[in-house]
Amino acid sequence: MIRFGVLGSLEVRTDTGARTLKGPKARQVLGLLLMRANEVVDVHEIAEELWHDNPGRNGVGAIRTHVYNLRCALAEAAGTDGVTGLLVTEPTGYQIRLDPDRLDALRFTRMVRRGRDLLAGGCVAEAARCLREALSLWQGRALANVTCGPLLSRHVTYLEELRVRAIELRVEADMLLGNHRELVAELRALIAAHPLNEWYHTQLIDVLYRSGRRGEALLAFHNLRTVLDRELGLEPSADARRLQYEILASDPEPVPRPRAMPRRIVANSAASGPRQAG
C-alpha cells in the first residue's frame, strides 16, 4: 500500500521503503495535491503555486506534463495497481483520493483533535498518550525538501502552528498528571528554539516552582523579562507576573496542587487548516 509523508521531507512510502520524487516541480505539485487531499485542486491554483500567477504561454500544458510525470513516478514506486484511482483528472483540475490513514498530516490533525477532546473531557493520561503519538509523526520541518510557493507556504504554516498547539496541549496534560520534573528539560529546549514564546517560559517557571526549585523559577522569570525587554520592549504578561508574585509570597516548599483545566482547551474549536481535507 502506498502512503505519503509530509511532516518532514515529502516521501512516497511503500512496503519496500520510502523514496523521494525526482524533480522540484513534481514534488511541489504532489505536495499541493496532498495538502488538499480528497479535494479538486484547480489548474489555476496549481499555476499560482508553481509560477505565482505567471505561468507563461504553455502553463496548462506544463501542468499536464508535471502530472503525467508524477503518475509515472508513483506507478514506479508502488506499481500500477497501487496507484489505480489515486491521482484523478477532474474537469477543472486534479485530485488525490486518499484514505486519511495514508497521509501523516491527516493522521496528525485527527489525533490532535482527539487529544484535545480527551483533555477537555478529563481523560488526561489518555490525552497525553494520544498527543505524544501525534507529535511522534514529525520527522522535521513540514515539506522540508519542497520549494514552497504561496499556497503550500500557507499549508506549512498551518501545520507548524498546529504542531505548537499539540505541544502545548501535551505539556498541559503532563502538568495535570504531576510530571513537573520531567518537563523541565523539554521546556528549556523549547525555549531555546522559540525564545519569544512566552507560554513556554511561563510553564517553565511553573514547573520549576512545583518541583521545589523556587530560586530557579524566579531566575526563569527574570530571563523572560530580559528577553522580552531586549527583543520587543515588552513586560511579561499578567499571568507571568501573577505567577512570580505567587512564588515570592509562598512557602519555600510548595504544596503540590492540581492545575485547573485551562479554559481555552475546553472552548477551542476543532482544528482545521486552510481548506484542509479530512
186-193: Cβ within 8 A, 24+ apart:
none
Instruction: Indicate the pTM of the whole model.
Output: 0.84
Give CA–CA dist 117/127, Å, rounded: 8
Count of CB atoms situated within 10 Å of the CB of 164: 15
User: In the structure grid, which three cell numbers stand for residue 93, read together?
Assistant: 483540475
Q: For cell 491527516, what's the residue?
A: 106
What is the chain's pLDDT, residue by residue, as a tens digit (278 residues)?
789 999 999 999 988 888 888 889 999 999 999 999 999 999 999 999 999 866 666 778 889 999 998 988 888 877 655 677 889 999 999 999 999 999 999 999 999 999 999 999 999 999 999 999 999 999 999 999 999 999 999 999 999 999 999 999 999 999 999 999 999 999 999 999 999 999 999 999 999 999 999 999 999 999 999 999 999 999 999 999 999 999 999 866 554 444 544 434 333 333 446 654 43
202-206: Cβ within 8 A, 24+ apart:
202/237, 202/239, 202/240, 202/243, 203/171, 203/175, 205/240, 205/243, 205/244, 205/247, 206/175, 206/180, 206/243
